[in-house]
Structure 1
């Protein structure tokens, strides 16, 4: 995902622009917003935006002055200018400042999307060019095996959080084939996104540490192997080629599946049901599960409903509510129970609980 910073002195514009579109659908993620130029500069190094969407008229430091200051730190950042004014002077200054686009307020969703699609294409080209330049310094690690075959590989830029979710699903259900395919896909994407041995290894370790921690919490039989799992993850740093690193990860994750003792004669739906029982507190998504197992999500949803009588989301809600009833009976506070069973919004938990139980959580607890 390419990183976006929104800079505007009007709070309604800042927050409205953040929620105007599904940024992730176009390959972008809003990482921060800033109230003026000085605030943007203070956040810049940590936010590291690829694209800044900047109001041209702001107090103290206007958008063009902000761009000049940022260019002293990083010449590669891209800019879209926002303006409530269609006057020629500002438009001319923006053009001379080499911005990537000039959008008039009120912001038109279609126009913004068109600019983002153009920006995505440009940023993808720059990423490939940077990889080519940087390739020589990493040649010993990649050792030409990055090609993964004879034809050129097309890399799809995907959020690592989504990869983490998919790989967690595949491991929890015990599908070695899906794990192997995901490892190759993740490795390809990391190689294109991070472009250096150190960054690839660091991000891989963070991803795997998070996933294995989830597995350790949900799979008690793995806890005796916790030290071994931690040890082999740390050995990622010792790998001298990209290919050997990928092989290590694939082999070790398949060993984890063996250790969990899955019954592979179980149907896919049965394995998904077991996974829900172990991971109901997670943000489980049918669409991600369908992608992992190469199913159309509508078709997988139909299979699930035929087997259980409920849609995936209804079944998940029922599992969560049944667990919530147990926790309420133990005397936990309502907000604690909501969080423990996977609802981040207490009001939403109230609504769901009343829907399935017929009364509010507190009333149920006081019976």
Structure 2
């Protein structure tokens, strides 16, 4: 139904209606005419425009729905308006195609309507190929969703019962950065053509996934190369996929269970990779159990900042991989992982900004917002590694004068924090006992003595600036002011207050 004669005429030849099981019963030039034609012809499918004279398409649909709730209605409109689409959904339309009309998109909608209408036909002898295809999809979709019974003539749909022995279910999640509303329908059509052409199995829909019942054959062994290549050809550069395969089945009665397992794993798609086929019964993505007590988010942020500040890019990347596993153990949902990483990185960047006020790290906060754009954990981690490598190059303190010089420089920068020899040993990839010996050989003092002296010298500067003793103690890394007094007197022979006058005694 369209007010433009050329469009009405063009629609009659744009797609092969008879091949899809339809014949053109009539046309109408406005909404009122459409209601009258519907009452006279009672069609299974109506294509209608929104903007028409006398009565618009939405009012016409409302009128048709009063007497016919089952007719499939497809809107063709030059207006990509959400309000129109929302009203159309209320009236139960089958699709909303924006002009200029894309032939593949229109055919996908019409084919779906044909399948839905074909589902109501009885299974009889001598099924046509078209009807067999529609009924086969109904059966597979129903089984995958736990709604169908095996009351179909299996040999007429699949060739024979034995042809299904060893078959496997493959569930595919498709997604695109362009978020096209018709992307899945167009991809399913192409996948169906390729799968049938190559004799690999049968394609069906089970929202929000595309299902594929794979025939038993060499393509089910190894990495399923023919299947993977078919998926890649279907998706091209614009569409991405993740797929999960169920175990081999002896009969179709096992399909509901296989579907349940595959869907359970696909719900954790964030932890899976793009462009890969997984088994539904694979080992847990959480990996091996933690070898030690997991760190808190705050502790992870501190360690990651140390790695970045030391300037060793390789160590930074290793640390990201280690924390990636720990954070999965803390919570493996997409929302939890992104939230925990965002918190960790924000804390780390705040520490970096505080220790390096001369550097502008504002742009580096962008890495936090980028987390939420990732479809998969591995691509999120790849993005993080790139950004952290850049940050390490910007603020990292690499030094060619040797490890001990780097250790002492690190202490000079972080003396106010709860430093321990074991922490530095882990950061510099040393055994703590061995590092302690190297440190004393290089400085002539133990690690703890060297740290105390650095803190006391910094305390003297702060005391001479007029700060109170308890404030100075906290600022240089001593939580207990009495302990600070004892340390200060041990190394200087006098109390901290002796330096407040500005002259050492």
Report the structure number with the largest CA radius of gyration.
2
- Could you tell me whether the CA contact under 8 Å between 2:308 and 2:396 is conserved in 1? no
Q: 1:305 aligns with which of 425, 430, 440?
A: 440
Is 1:344 the equivalent of 2:500? Answer: no
Aligned equivalent of 1:249: 384
- Could you tell me whether the CA contact under 8 Å between 2:307 and 2:316 is conserved in 1? yes
Q: Deviations over 1:189-242 (max 9, x none)?
A: 1112212111111111111111221121212343x2x21111222211221110
Aligned equivalent of 2:409: 274
- Could you tell me whether the CA contact under 8 Å between 2:416 and 2:476 is conserved in 1? yes
Q: Which runs of 4+ in 1 moved over 4 A?
A: 132-135, 144-147
- Could you tell me whether the CA contact under 8 Å between 1:169 and 1:289 is conserved in 2? no
Q: 2:334 aligns with which of 179, 197, 211?
A: 197
Go from structure 1 to structure 2 and tell me whether the alpha carbon gap of 1:138 and 1:323 turns closer, same or farther (over 3 Å shift): farther
Higher percent of residues as helix = 1
Aligned equivalent of 1:159: 295
- Could you tell me whether the CA contact under 8 Å between 2:473 and 2:480 is conserved in 1? yes
Aligned equivalent of 1:217: 354
Q: Deviations over 1:41-100 (max 9, x none)?
A: xxxxxxxxxxxxxxxxxxxxxxxxxxxxxxxxxxxxxxxxxxxxxxxxxxxxxxxxxxxx
- Secondary structure of the residue aligned to 2:315 is helix
Is 1:140 the equivalent of 2:269? Answer: yes
Go from structure 1 to structure 2 and tell me whether the alpha carbon gap of 1:318 and 1:138 turns closer, same or farther (over 3 Å shift): farther
CA apart distance, 1:264: 4.2
Alignment of 1:350-361 (within 5 A): 350-361=485-496
- Secondary structure of the residue aligned to 2:467 is coil
- Could you tell me whether the CA contact under 8 Å between 1:221 and 1:260 is conserved in 2? no
- Could you tell me whether the CA contact under 8 Å between 1:138 and 1:197 is conserved in 2? no
For residues 262 and 421 of structure 2, the distance between their equivalents in structure 1, rounded to whole angstroms, comes to 40
Structure with greater contact order relative to length (CA < 8 Å, sep ≥ 6): 1
Q: Deviations over 1:282-336 (max 9, x none)?
A: 1112212212332111111111111111111211111111010000001111111
- Could you tell me whether the CA contact under 8 Å between 1:338 and 1:346 is conserved in 2? yes
Go from structure 1 to structure 2 and tell me whether the alpha carbon gap of 1:297 and 1:162 turns closer, same or farther (over 3 Å shift): farther
TM-score w.r.t. structure 2 length? 0.43
Structure 2: gaps spanning 5 or more residues:
1-260
For residues 175 and 261 of structure 1, the distance between their equivalents in structure 2, rounded to whole angstroms, comes to 7
Aligned equivalent of 2:312: 175
For residues 301 and 354 of structure 2, the distance between their equivalents in structure 1, rounded to whole angstroms, comes to 16
Aligned equivalent of 1:294: 429
- Secondary structure of the residue aligned to 1:220 is coil
- Could you tell me whether the CA contact under 8 Å between 1:173 and 1:272 is conserved in 2? no
Q: Deviations over 1:149-172 (max 9, x none)?
A: x99841315113443332222111
For residues 151 and 137 of structure 1, the distance between their equivalents in structure 2, rounded to whole angstroms, comes to 13
For residues 411 and 350 of structure 2, the distance between their equivalents in structure 1, rounded to whole angstroms, comes to 17
Aligned equivalent of 1:315: 450
Q: Deviations over 1:114-150 (max 9, x none)?
A: xxxxxxxxxxxxxxxxxx9996364221125899xx9
Aligned equivalent of 1:208: 345
Go from structure 1 to structure 2 and tell me whether the alpha carbon gap of 1:138 and 1:158 turns closer, same or farther (over 3 Å shift): farther
- Could you tell me whether the CA contact under 8 Å between 2:415 and 2:454 is conserved in 1? yes
CA apart distance, 1:265: 1.9
For residues 235 and 243 of structure 1, the distance between their equivalents in structure 2, rounded to whole angstroms, comes to 13
Structure 1: gaps spanning 5 or more residues:
1-131
Go from structure 1 to structure 2 and tell me whether the alpha carbon gap of 1:272 and 1:139 turns closer, same or farther (over 3 Å shift): same
- Could you tell me whether the CA contact under 8 Å between 2:464 and 2:500 is conserved in 1? yes
Aligned equivalent of 1:7: none
Aligned equivalent of 2:113: none
For residues 396 and 329 of structure 2, the distance between their equivalents in structure 1, rounded to whole angstroms, comes to 35
- Could you tell me whether the CA contact under 8 Å between 1:141 and 1:241 is conserved in 2? yes
- Could you tell me whether the CA contact under 8 Å between 1:286 and 1:301 is conserved in 2? yes
Aligned equivalent of 1:227: 362
After TM superposition, the structure 1 stretch with the greater mean CA deviation from structure 2, 326-335 or 186-195, is: 186-195
TM-score w.r.t. structure 1 length? 0.58
- Could you tell me whether the CA contact under 8 Å between 2:328 and 2:337 is conserved in 1? yes
Alignment of 1:34-49 (within 5 A): none
- Could you tell me whether the CA contact under 8 Å between 1:166 and 1:289 is conserved in 2? no
